[in-house]
Amino acid sequence: MDVPFRVTDATLDVIEVLLAGQPDLYALKISKEIGRPSGSVVPILMRLEDCGWVTSKWEDSGSQSRGPRRRFYELDPNRVAGARSLVVSRRQPATRCTGIVRPGLAGGC
């Protein structure tokens, strides 16, 4: 699958959280879910939004939450199948045996 953004482990982590479909996902909540700093999550969300994979909206100004307004992110409904396919293809463990002997791995596989 050819995607218009760099696919890193952190990108896959963000996409997996978005695929779970939880309501009201904002950058800090996503970063806590995946155990990565918000400073790496926000640029990923911006990249995904720039290429149309993610949509976002600001929290209503009249909401009861304390602190600054949050920006909620969700996966574009037209990208869900592609996102699932991307995660499956990139998260699959390697099944090919390279023949390289590594310490602790019998037979190099």
Q: What is the mean pLDDT of the chain?
A: 86
pTM of the model: 0.79
Of 64-68, 77-81, 84-88, 96-100, least confident by mean pLDDT is: 96-100
CATH 2.40.110.10 corresponds to the domain 9-93: no
What letter would DSSP give residue 62?
A: T
Q: For residue 55, what pLDDT is reported? A: 97
Q: What is the pLDDT of residues 15-37, one digit of tens each?
A: 999 999 899 999 999 999 999 99
Q: How far apart are CA 99 and CA 109, in angstroms?
A: 6
Q: For residue 13, what pLDDT is reported? A: 97
Long-range contacts of 86-89 (CB under 8 A, 24+ apart): 86/1, 86/3, 86/7, 86/12, 86/15, 87/12, 87/15, 87/16, 87/19, 89/1
Does 94 have pLDDT greater than 90? Answer: no
Q: Residue 96 — very low, low, confident or very high, per pLDDT cuts 50/70/90?
A: low
